[in-house]
Amino acid sequence: MTNTDLTPFNLAEINVADDSNAFHKLQYGALQRARALELPSFEEEVWRYTQINDLDLSKYSIGAPGGEMQARGLTADVVDAAAVLEVVNGEVVTSQINDPNVSIFTELDDENVASGVGSVMTDAVDIFAEYNHALSTSPLVIRIARNSVVEKPIVIRHATSETDFAWFPRVVVIAEENSEATILEHQVSTDVEALICPVTEITAGQSARLKYLTVQELGPRVWQLASQISDIGRDAHVAVSHVAFGGGYARARIDTRMVGSGATGDIGAVYFGRKDTTLDFRTFQKHDAPHTNSNLLFKGAVDDRSRAIYTGMIRIEPDASDVVAYQTNRNLKLSDEAWAESVPNLEIENNDVKCSHASAVGPVDADQRFYLESRGVPSEVAEALVVRGFFAEVLEDFPIPSIGIKTLERISELLSLEGVSL
Amino acid sequence: MVKLVVEGLEASVGGKQILRGINLEVSSGQVHAVMGPNGAGKSTLSNVIMGRPGYVATAGSVSIDGTDVLSLPTWERAQLGLFLAMQYPTEVPGVSIRDTLSLALTSRGISSENVVGRLLDEALAIGLNPELLDRSLNVDLSGGEKKRNETAQLAVLQPSIAILDELDSGLDIDALKACAERIEALTKNQLGVLCITHYHRLLDYLPADTVHILVDGKIVESAGPELAVELEAEGYSRFLPDKQDANDGVSVAIGGLSLLKPSLVDEDPFADPMA
């Protein structure tokens, strides 16, 4: 693919060569499919409650202008890493490997890139994933070697600082058999107009243990339309965690598929909306195999005029017996104008399962606040402490402890607790 | 010398009137016990004084040294010197007792420098496992541990007036003795106590100067500690209104014979709907 003038974002005018290498052939096919698709409407269930109809693609240009890595936000302190990948405005600017068990492929003509991209998301989950397939300029394919333990985190930073720009981060992680690794992916931007459509594909081979943590700190005018999909193999354990703070409209569709017998998927999220942000999560826990577990816990708060949407589906296929699946979403509504919706769902085709779902949207618990106030803690501080505690419960057991602490510090700042010594 | 004055206090919960004119005075160093049958309004009295949401004072006043308490938010009542040891201490996930007490002290303008050490001393003094101090407030604590936790917080915060809402429930005799004696020691240091209880056993270790009998939202008799002993032996029957009186809301004929059968007492006609 050439990065010559591709403005405006109009698929009819985009050309992708289909003859240069295997990856380009993939892109060409995806582009043909994308051209046949229409933008979604909020009338579709999976886009319900969203402002997707306000998305104007013609505002954005496509390209990979690159640039310098600027603020590293919440992950700035994570310096001791097994590998560091930094992608700025669609261009890979840093690719540094410090652990021999980690391999990273970024060249478009590399066979690992062509075979990795689309290996889990064989069919794009929506038009934005198809765009990603067609237009990604900077796919990252990460392999964790068989039987290895990668102790330090692999850090991926995606930074956006160019305005009026659309781009399509793609990360493919292949955790080979009996490997262990932790990956931290960070989406950060300055206050620019941008459309970012990331796709993350995760494969965990037999008995692999993978933690994948995503931190989203995008500016208030950014549209994020992300999808993450994981295939968890036999006796493997994948924990995906999401921290989300920003964006104008920031969506993450998270598919977790327990495909091998004995697979376990943990899906967690901590999110805090303020000002006019909309945070939108769509989760799918799919049990294809017996003896599988999945456990989802999403906790969020909405302040100011922000909105949060959670819809979740647990699907248990007929052959999946001895399954345990949980889905919990709790939202705190911190202002009158904030809004949150939570819709859990179950589809169970097998009798030998243990499933539960729970969801809640409500204000801070009055009894908890009263308890703290009765000790002499002023009302506003008491409320902030209860909110902080609501998140602390999850963040104390976070996959990367230092990120859990940083996240809690950020939440304390948002709650004006920074002057309070805790 | 601090004085809590409750005058003509009426209160309702969920639109239902529970307190029908309470008069009480508790001064520094004194222990006042409030006893009464289930549903008499004992917990409502403690909650309305502290300002728990849902408990509405509809008439009368509560003051500390002349400062109106009822117009203040709960935290200012606490800073004025009130403390409520709760009947059912609320679990607050993710918030530690240490942080809570630090903030409670610093927002009073008192240094919280030594709060961890003081808390540890108090926990050891009343037999509260110090490991529990690292947990979230009241989360996964047994009933007895929660009550000891309340007592330890009381001792660290050193209020001028403490309201104990059935501190004794859920405590075994050793824990009861430890908590009551700790509070008794604080009364020597000018703590005033309003102690709500069903049973005399708490007062064995925290002797009351005055015992009040609360029935149907009113104090029907006040006397010295001997009244609690009498109650233990004879029950509340002589204080209970007959049916006619209860329906009219007329004050109770003290010392009259009760026409109520025990089964009617069990029905709990004045039950606190928030309890």
- Return the HEC string of chain A: CCCCCCCCCCHHHCCCCCCCCHHHHHHHHHHHHHHHCCCCCCCCHHHCCCCHHHCCHHHCEECCCCCCCCCCHHHCCCCCCCEEEEEECCEEEEEEECCCCEEEECCCCCHHHHHHCCCCCCCCCCHHHHHHHHHCCCEEEEEECCCCECCCCEEEEEEECCCCEEECCEEEEEECCCCEEEEEEEEEECCCCEEECCEEEEEECCCCEEEEEEEEECCCCEEEEEEEEEEECCCCEEEEEEEECCCCEEEEEEEEEECCCCCEEEEEEEEEECCCCEEEEEEEEEECCCCCEEEEEEEEEECCCCEEEEEEEEEECCCCCCEEEEEEEEEEECCCCCEEEEEEEEEECCCCEEEEEEEEEECCCHHHHHHHHCCCCCHHHHHHHHHHHHHHHHHCCCCCHHHHHHHHHHHHHHCCCCCCCC
Contact A73, A401 (CB under 8 A): no
Interface touch B90/A370, C-beta < 8 Å: yes
- Give me chain A's average pLDDT, please: 93
Tell me which of A299, A365, A371 to substitute to probe the interface with B (most B C-beta atoms closer than 10 Å): A371
CB contacts, 8 Å: B87 with chain A: none
State pLDDT tens for residues A326-335.
999 999 999 9
Query: Would you list which residues of chain B are within 8 Å, Cβ to Cβ, of chain A?
Result: 50-54, 73-75, 78-79, 83-84, 86, 89-95, 99-108, 112, 136-138, 153, 157
Kindly determine whether residue B95 and residue A388, on different chains, have CB atoms separated by under 8 Å. yes
Beta bridge partners of A104: A142
User: What's the first-to-final CA gap in chain A, in angstroms?
Assistant: 52
Cβ contact A375–B104 (<8 Å): yes
Contact between B84 and A386 using a beta-carbon 8 Å cutoff: no
Chain A residues within an 8 Å CB radius of B105: 376
Out of A377, A391, A392, closest to residue B104 by CB:
A377
Strand, coil or helix: what is B232? helix
Q: Which residue has the tokens 């903030």?
A: B103
Nearest to B100 among A375, A378, A392 (CB): A375
Summarised one tens digit per residue, pLDDT across range A372-381 is: 999 999 999 9
Q: Does A382 touch chain B (CB under 8 A)?
A: yes
A217 contacts A245 by C-beta, under 8 angstroms: yes
Distance CA A74, CA A408 (A): 11
Q: Would you state the pLDDT for residue B246? A: 43
pLDDT score at B155: 97
Q: Is residue B245 classed as helix, strand or coil in its secondary structure?
A: helix
What per-residue confidence (pLDDT) applies to A216?
98
Residue pLDDT, tens place only, A68-116:
988 889 999 998 999 999 999 999 999 999 999 999 999 988 999 999 9
Rounded Cα gap, residues A311 and A291, in angstroms? 25
Q: What is the pLDDT along chain B (275 residues), one digit of tens a residue?
A: 999 999 999 999 999 999 999 999 999 999 999 999 889 999 999 999 999 999 999 999 999 999 999 999 999 999 999 999 999 999 999 999 999 999 999 999 998 888 999 999 999 999 999 999 888 999 999 999 999 999 999 999 999 999 999 999 888 999 999 999 999 999 999 999 999 998 889 999 999 999 999 999 999 999 999 998 888 888 888 888 664 444 444 444 444 444 443 444 444 445 555 54
* Nearest CA-CA distance, residue B201 and chain A, Å: 27
- Given a contact cutoff of 8 angstroms between Cβ atoms, the answer to whether A281 and A307 are in contact is no
Q: Chain A partners of B112 at a C-beta cutoff of 8 Å? A: 421
Which residue range forms the structural domain that includes residue B210?
A: 3-267
Please tell me the distance in Å from B246's CA to the nearest CA on chain A: 32
Phi, psi (5° rounding) for residue A103? -120, 140
Which of A195, A315, A256, A251 is closest to A48 using CA atoms?
Answer: A251
Q: Sort strands B82-85 and B161-165 into parallel, antiparallel or unpaired.
A: parallel
Q: A419 or B32: whose pLDDT is higher?
A: B32
Q: How far is B231 from chain A (nearest CA, A)?
A: 31
What is the domain-level CATH number for residue B118?
A: 3.40.50.300
User: Between the CA of residue A382 and those of A357, A365, A370, B74, B99, what are the distances in Å?
Assistant: 29, 11, 8, 11, 11
B234: three-class secondary structure by DSSP:
helix
Q: Residues of A with CB below 8 A from B84's CB?
A: 374
Dihedral of alpha carbons A124, A128, A131, A136, sign: negative
Of A382, A386, A388, the CB nearest to B75: A382
Contact (Cβ atoms closer than 8 angstroms) between residue A331 and residue A310: yes
Tokens of residue A170, six digits: 């793609």
The encoded tokens of residue A92 equal 């890979």
Question: Which tokens go with B162?
Answer: 């403490």
Radius of gyration of chain A (CA): 21
For residues A366 and A373, what is the distance between their CA atoms, to the nearest angstrom?
10
pLDDT digits (tens, 9 = 90+) for A223-257: 999 999 999 999 999 999 999 999 999 999 999 99
Task: Return the number of CB contacts < 8 Å for A and B.
Answer: 94
Distance from CA of A406 to the nearest CA of B (A): 16
Per-residue pLDDT, B239: 85
Structural tokens at position B87? 């009947």
**Nearest chain B alpha carbon to A364:** B92
Establish if B112 belongs to a structural domain. yes
Q: How many CB atoms lie within 10 A of CB B91?
A: 18
Q: What is the DSSP letter of B132?
A: G
| CA quadruple A66, A71, A72, A74: dihedral sign | negative
Nearest CB to A420; choose among B51, B91, B103? B103
Nearest to B103 among A381, A389, A390 (CB): A381
Q: Compute the average pLDDT of residues A294-322.
A: 97
Burial-class residue A421 by CB neighbours within 10 Å (0-12, 13-18, 19+): exposed
What backbone torsions phi and psi does residue B34 show, to the nearest 5 degrees? -115, 120
- CA–chain centroid gap for A287, Å, is 20
Please name which of A62, A67, A65 lies closest in space to residue A5, comparing C-alpha atoms. Answer: A62
Residue for token digits 């292949």? A174
Q: What is the ipTM of this complex?
A: 0.88
Candidates B92, B106, B136; nearest CB to A372: B92
Residue A218 CA: distances (Å) to CA of A159, A183, A184, A188: 9, 19, 16, 5
Q: Does A397 touch chain B (CB under 8 A)?
A: no
Instruction: Out of B94, B108, B112, name the one closest to residue A392 (CB).
Output: B94
d(CA B65, CA B2) in angstroms, rounded, equals 6
Q: Which range (A11-20, A149-158, A356-365, B222-231) has the least confidence?
A: A11-20
In a domain, B274, yes or no: no
A225 burial (CB, 10 Å; 0-12 / 13-18 / 19+) is buried
Mean pLDDT of A125-146: 94
pLDDT band at A396 (very low <50, low <70, confident <90, very high): confident
Specify the pLDDT at position A11. 65
> What is the number of domains present in chain B?
1
Other C-beta atoms closer than 10 Å to the C-beta of B187 total 18
Residue B273 resides in a domain:
no
B275 in any annotated domain: no
Rounded to 5 degrees, φ, ψ at A6 are -115, 25
CA distance A174 to A203: 5
Tokens (6 digits) for B109: 């303008």
B205 within a domain of the structure (yes/no): yes
Instruction: Centre a 10 Å sphere on the Cβ of residue B195 and count the other Cβ atoms it contains.
Output: 26
Sign of torsion over alpha carbons B73, B77, B79, B83 = negative
Question: Closest-CA residue in chain B for A376?
Answer: B75
Task: Please answer yes or no on whether B83 and A382 come within 8 Å at the CB atom.
Answer: no
| Cβ–Cβ below 8 Å for A368 and B107 | no
For B109, which residue in chain A has the nearest alpha carbon? A376
Mutate: best of B95, B140, B156, partner A, most A CBs <10 A: B95
CA distance A190 to A194: 10
H-run or E-run covering B104 = helix B97-106
Q: Is residue B101 part of a domain?
A: yes
Cα A234 from chain centre: 23
Lowest mean pLDDT across A199-208, A212-221, B9-18, B249-258: B249-258
Burial class (CB in 10 A: 0-12, 13-18, 19+), A355: middle
How far off is chain A from B18, nearest CA to CA, in Å?
20
Judge: B95–A366 Cβ closer than 8 Å, yes or no.
Answer: no
Which residues on chain A are in Cβ contact (under 8 Å) with B106? 421
Contacts of B157 in chain A (CB under 8 A): 375-376
* Mean pLDDT value of segment A186-214: 97
Choose, out of B75, B98, B161, the residue to mutate when testing the contact with A (most A CBs < 10 Å).
B75
In this complex, do A374 and B84 lie within 8 Å of one another by their Cβ atoms?
yes
